[in-house]
Structure 1
Amino acid sequence: MPKRKVMIGFLGSQLDSGQGAGRWEKWRPTVSMAQHEDLLVDRIELLHAPVHVGLAQQISRDIAAVSPHTEVRLIPNPTRDPWDFGEVYGTLYDWARTYPFDPDAEDYWVHITTGTHVGQICLFLLVESRFIPGVLLQTSPPRKQVRGDAGSYALIDLDLSRYDDLARRFEQAQADALSFLKSGIATRNAAFNALVEEIERVAVRSRAPVLLTGPTGAGKSHLARRMYELKKARHQVSGEFVEVNCATLRGDGAASTLFGHKKGSFTGAAADRAGLLRAADGGVLFLDEIGELGADEQAMLLKAVEEKKFFPVGADREVASDFQLVAGTNRDLRLEVAAGRFREDLFARINLWAYTLPGLAERPEDLAPNIDHLLQRAGAELQQAVRFNAEARARYLAFAQSPEAHWSGNFRDLSASVTRLATLADSGRITLPLVEAEIRRLLWMWQRDEPPAAATVDMAALIGPERWDALDLFDQLQLQAVAAVCRQSTSLSDAGRRLFHRSRDKRQVVNDADRLRKYLLKHGLAWETLRG
């Protein structure tokens, strides 16, 4: 037995209206559904405002005249304001929750041609969320108004699981966005890929502040700009990307640079200055090394981020700037807050979306694709194809992934190294002697990162004489050696990578920094204390 067809929709106070015999000469959307010769509508649930009850009754009689089989149920809609989204949705929601839907016996067509735009949107949402288990019905008038011409209709099924094409497009769009943030580099580090995937979702969904923490050269500035460009491509920003390194802001000029000033507000203020916060209105403001800001600038920034308003230096009137803040730092701001050097309330405000970018040495599996990317870019600048021979590539990659390679400047070091190799390559061919010379150059450059070899660590002073004397000689020697490596490393992650490098491939979870932190904690030591 075929299912009954049920139409649900609003009465069209304008489109469905008409008096006298002339009403049959015009197209009326609700009546038209009963006029299709090839379609039998069993029931129409007609929602109407109480003030239009007369028109609703007229429509019911006209439908009975053209389709006696069709039952019309008039449903008074008590909404006071048909343009109030909350009220309209609430009324329809309450009605849908109590309606005795029977999808096994009936097909439900939700008519969205009539009613206010708010009403149509609410019906759409109820169908999309399956509170109304049906499909959308869109009707259109005939090209020429002819008596009895019912026009046309189309059904729209919102079950997106049926639209494999659409699903593939959404997936491809996200994949393209991830690739864009990574500059098209096929990174292989699982933790980094997961981090960028979350940043992509935040970038296109949120305008809240974002905090990027990581060592110098880890790519904070580059990632912030890519986030802005991604938002711009989605038409989510209208302003510019404004970048400033807070470490370069000093003294009275810091507040003026950021927040602007009024003419005559201080010596040298010969004219009004807008400031960088206003330059970023509608766009993204990237404050690199935000931990370098002074206390006064931190307080002014907090107000600007929270209220989108602030006072320029020397001004008695507020100005406005609606920007999104992306902050970068190579410090642990938690420690800066504890030491009283960074405002706790500002840290809380910018810490909603906080991400720590790993240094290059923590991503050895990503060195190969990044080297390829940088080599291609260097070749484009030199206007010639540049490539390693097999032996040279194997040697350079083995060194780059070894504990010898500090990469203390991270991608800046790697980019400079690849640029030197590409520039010196005869006929665009990087050979083994060229790689060996470059390795010697890098090792010489990184020597300044290491303390003098004679430097020793007084462990008894660090953990206390009694605790030190209670250790076996084996444990003392081990702890002394670990402390020496820590003193020679640029970060906790760098030290962990050096200490546990050989066993990396044998572990399912690689977190050398956490492993080292726990070892030090067992002896009552913290990384900051050990580094002094």
Structure 2
Amino acid sequence: MATVVISLLGIVLDQKGRGANRWDKWRPNVAVCMHPELHIDRFEMILHPKYMRMGQKVAEDIKEISPNTAVNIHKVSWEDPWDFEQVYGALHDFASSYSFDRENDEYYIHITTGTHVAQICLYLLTEAHYFPGKLLQTSPSPSIGAKGQYHVIDLDLSKYDQIAQRFRNEQLVGEQLLKSGISTRNIQFNRLINQLEQVAIRSTAPILLTGPTGAGKSQLARQIFALKKQRGQVKGEFVAINCATLHGDNAMSTLFGHKKGAFTGALQSRLGLLKTAHDGLLFLDEIGELGLDEQAMLLKSIEEKTFYPMGSDQPIHSNFQLIAGTNQNLQQAVLEGRFREDLLARINLWSYDLPGLRDRIEDLEPNLEYELQQFAKQHGSLVTFNSAAKNLFLNFALSPVALWKANFRDLNACVLRMATLAPGGRITESVVEEEILRLNKAWQSPTPLADKQGIALEQFLSKEAIANIDLFDQQQLLYVINACLNAKSLAEAGRKLFNVSRTQKKTPNDSHRLRTYLGKYDLSFEQVHSLNASSAPV
């Protein structure tokens, strides 16, 4: 592996001595290259632009005493070298833009030069794995002259718990925002988002977000608010409530407020969430759980921008925009008398159905990267997969066996667990294997060989044959069988099952691939349909 040193230019120590006299002085960045046992292939020197000339002279001296060392100069700016926020931010930006090659390079972060603030920042960024290397500390030594001495410090945090905790409390995680956008690949979802962005900017009408639990309705509502806030279209707050938590007087009071003495226990007046959301955005998640009385008052509030708190005869004005979320079929709820038809008509002007994770499985990998970025932002520690572990996880996550029942919530929890258990900030194969077992166990139904429609593997294979198939393969086969049962032809089932890989082939061979897979278990598309029909109850 190539040895790479990353170091700040020392504007005091590195310019000691003039002319030939300089070779008698200890200069940290030159001295570190004088040790033959520490063969340095590349030296990355970070400096402020106004010290460029000094940096070039130091680089020339490094080349003179270590001809095989390539020196690269990087300009990094801050106004005040003693301002922690400025220095941390600048060094963080450098680390984020630098192309680290952990497979082929070994990195040493030289923390001898620069202000004390800069040295602390380099330590923190190395501890958090933004600089993926070991610390290199150099110092003068009268007995060996200009060469001085060096010490390599491996930041194994288990050895430095107290120090790590002290620094961790000071980390400015929130100051350095990571990329918040996700590069989604699903064409249908991207079209949905493109239109929704236009609607959010141009309209103040209610928006209805539907989709399964965990599909991202709450997060999308917050993104809409952030977009409107950025464009100066809202001055108020983002107010959110899950309507499933609202019952009885508490529902009315929470949403519309109440006057003191309006009911037993109302010792003080309350504004309510609709008033709190004045000039802002109100997100009512699971709106299908709202009672009919609350629905009637909400409709009036949307249409007239006024409402009456409980126990009051004075109307309250609130100019809020409503975003509603639900995982229910509200049309069916209207037919069953559980939801007002006029309210549905009012909130259904802009309606967007968010697909679950399995329906946009090609977006799993970018969402995986996003979750890792969020972990780094929240915990101040960069966590990554090694290449083998990432391949192992993606092979499982993209397979039919991965059910993702709670959609993106499952993915979020999955990444949080793996990142927390990652040794040294690297998710390994053993961490992934443990997580796969955990997910499979969590997704098992009470009858693991039958799906929610009651289709069981025993309908298609003998007990003896099933006993010789791994549980992993049993679940995969059951998924394939269900795809066949829900398709009119072998080709249609193949297109669904191979929806991603087929796009990478010049000539898709979905039918052949599916026929070959079923043949492994002595099954065919026609047999699956006939066996299922023969086992159906009369």
TM-score (norm 2): 0.52
TM-fit CA distance, 1:397: 0.7
- Please list, as runs of the form range in 1=range in 2, the aligned pairs for 1:399-414 lying within 5 A after superposition: 399-414=396-411
Q: Is 2:358 the counterpart of 1:361?
A: yes
* Corresponding residue SS for 1:500: helix
Pick one of 186, 189, 201 that aligns with 2:186.
189
* Corresponding residue SS for 1:326: strand
The change in CA–CA distance for 1:398 and 1:279 in structure 2 (over 3 A counts) is same
The change in CA–CA distance for 1:498 and 1:425 in structure 2 (over 3 A counts) is farther
Counterpart CA distance in 2 for 1:254 and 1:300 is 11
TM-fit CA distance, 1:383: 2.9
Q: Is 2:380 the counterpart of 1:386?
A: no
Aligned to 1:446: 443
- Deviation string 1:107-153 (CA, Å, 9 cap, x unpaired) is xxxxxxxxxxxxxxxxxxxxxxxxxxxxxxxxxxxxxxxxxxxxxxx
Counterpart CA distance in 1 for 2:327 and 2:452 is 26
TM-fit CA distance, 1:444: 0.5
Counterpart CA distance in 1 for 2:361 and 2:446 is 20
Counterpart CA distance in 2 for 1:196 and 1:343 is 28
Q: Is 2:272 the counterpart of 1:264?
A: no
Q: Is 2:208 the counterpart of 1:208?
A: no
The change in CA–CA distance for 1:454 and 1:485 in structure 2 (over 3 A counts) is closer
8 Å Cα contact 2:495/2:502 also seen in 1: no
Counterpart CA distance in 2 for 1:211 and 1:284 is 13
Pick one of 358, 369, 375 that aligns with 1:372.
369
TM-fit CA distance, 1:272: 1.3
8 Å Cα contact 1:290/1:327 also seen in 2: yes
Q: Is 2:317 the counterpart of 1:313?
A: no
The change in CA–CA distance for 1:392 and 1:451 in structure 2 (over 3 A counts) is closer
TM-fit CA distance, 1:183: 3.2
Q: Is 2:349 the counterpart of 1:352?
A: yes
Q: Is 2:214 the counterpart of 1:217?
A: yes
- Deviation string 1:446-485 (CA, Å, 9 cap, x unpaired) is 1148677499859xxxxxxxxxxxxxxxxxxxxxx89994
Which sections of structure 2, spanning at least 5 residues, go unmatched? 1-176, 456-477, 487-491, 505-528, 530-535
Q: Is 2:497 the counterpart of 1:501?
A: yes
Aligned to 1:276: 273
* Corresponding residue SS for 1:427: helix
Query: Given residue 289 of structure 2, which amino acid in structure 1 is its aligned partner?
Result: E
Aligned to 1:102: none
The change in CA–CA distance for 1:249 and 1:455 in structure 2 (over 3 A counts) is closer
Query: Given residue 285 of structure 2, which amino acid in structure 1 is its aligned partner?
Result: D
Counterpart CA distance in 2 for 1:247 and 1:414 is 24
Query: Given residue 413 of structure 1, which amino acid in structure 2 is its aligned partner?
Result: D
* Corresponding residue SS for 1:312: coil
Aligned to 1:227: 224
Counterpart CA distance in 1 for 2:196 and 2:320 is 18
The change in CA–CA distance for 1:449 and 1:414 in structure 2 (over 3 A counts) is farther
Counterpart CA distance in 2 for 1:242 and 1:287 is 9
8 Å Cα contact 1:362/1:497 also seen in 2: no
TM-fit CA distance, 1:283: 0.5
- Deviation string 1:207-227 (CA, Å, 9 cap, x unpaired) is 000000011111111111111
8 Å Cα contact 1:379/1:422 also seen in 2: no
8 Å Cα contact 1:214/1:358 also seen in 2: yes
Counterpart CA distance in 2 for 1:454 and 1:327 is 31
8 Å Cα contact 1:310/1:319 also seen in 2: yes
The change in CA–CA distance for 1:408 and 1:237 in structure 2 (over 3 A counts) is same
- Please list, as runs of the form range in 1=range in 2, the aligned pairs for 1:104-253 lying within 5 A after superposition: 183-253=180-250
Which sections of structure 1, spanning at least 5 residues, go unmatched? 1-179, 459-480, 490-495, 509-522, 524-529
Moved over 4 A (4+): 449-452, 454-458, 481-486, 496-499
8 Å Cα contact 1:288/1:327 also seen in 2: yes
TM-fit CA distance, 1:502: 2.9
* Corresponding residue SS for 1:273: coil
Counterpart CA distance in 2 for 1:185 and 1:449 is 35
The percentage of aligned residue pairs carrying the same residue is: 56
Query: Given residue 304 of structure 1, which amino acid in structure 2 is its aligned partner?
Result: S
Q: Is 2:290 the counterpart of 1:296?
A: no
* Corresponding residue SS for 2:185: coil
Counterpart CA distance in 1 for 2:244 and 2:324 is 13
8 Å Cα contact 2:400/2:479 also seen in 1: no
TM-fit CA distance, 1:410: 1.2
TM-fit CA distance, 1:206: 0.4
- Please list, as runs of the form range in 1=range in 2, the aligned pairs for 1:67-82 lying within 5 A after superposition: none
TM-fit CA distance, 1:186: 0.9
Aligned to 2:420: 423
Query: Given residue 321 of structure 1, which amino acid in structure 2 is its aligned partner?
Result: S
Query: Given residue 419 of structure 2, which amino acid in structure 1 is its aligned partner?
Result: A
Query: Given residue 431 of structure 2, which amino acid in structure 1 is its aligned partner?
Result: L
Counterpart CA distance in 2 for 1:500 and 1:292 is 34
The change in CA–CA distance for 1:204 and 1:449 in structure 2 (over 3 A counts) is farther
Counterpart CA distance in 2 for 1:453 and 1:410 is 20
Counterpart CA distance in 2 for 1:188 and 1:503 is 13
TM-fit CA distance, 1:297: 0.4
Counterpart CA distance in 2 for 1:193 and 1:408 is 22
Counterpart CA distance in 2 for 1:249 and 1:423 is 35
Aligned to 1:327: 324
TM-fit CA distance, 1:399: 0.9
Query: Given residue 281 of structure 2, which amino acid in structure 1 is its aligned partner?
Result: V
- Please list, as runs of the form range in 1=range in 2, the aligned pairs for 1:517-528 lying within 5 A after superposition: none
Counterpart CA distance in 2 for 1:402 and 1:328 is 29
Counterpart CA distance in 1 for 2:501 and 2:205 is 38
- Deviation string 1:421-466 (CA, Å, 9 cap, x unpaired) is 11111111111121111000001011148677499859xxxxxxxx
- Deviation string 1:236-264 (CA, Å, 9 cap, x unpaired) is 11111100000000122101110111111
- Deviation string 1:11-46 (CA, Å, 9 cap, x unpaired) is xxxxxxxxxxxxxxxxxxxxxxxxxxxxxxxxxxxx
Counterpart CA distance in 1 for 2:197 and 2:281 is 15
TM-fit CA distance, 1:318: 1.5
Aligned to 2:283: 286
8 Å Cα contact 2:256/2:308 also seen in 1: yes
Structure with bigger gyration radius: 1
TM-fit CA distance, 1:317: 2.1
Counterpart CA distance in 1 for 2:303 and 2:316 is 14
8 Å Cα contact 1:257/1:276 also seen in 2: yes
* Corresponding residue SS for 2:391: helix
Pick one of 364, 386, 397 that aligns with 2:394.
397
Query: Given residue 411 of structure 2, which amino acid in structure 1 is its aligned partner?
Result: L
Counterpart CA distance in 2 for 1:287 and 1:456 is 32
Aligned to 1:432: 429
TM-fit CA distance, 1:498: 11
8 Å Cα contact 2:287/2:326 also seen in 1: yes
Query: Given residue 501 of structure 1, which amino acid in structure 2 is its aligned partner?
Result: L
| Two-structure CA RMSD over aligned residues (Å) | 3.1
8 Å Cα contact 1:457/1:483 also seen in 2: no
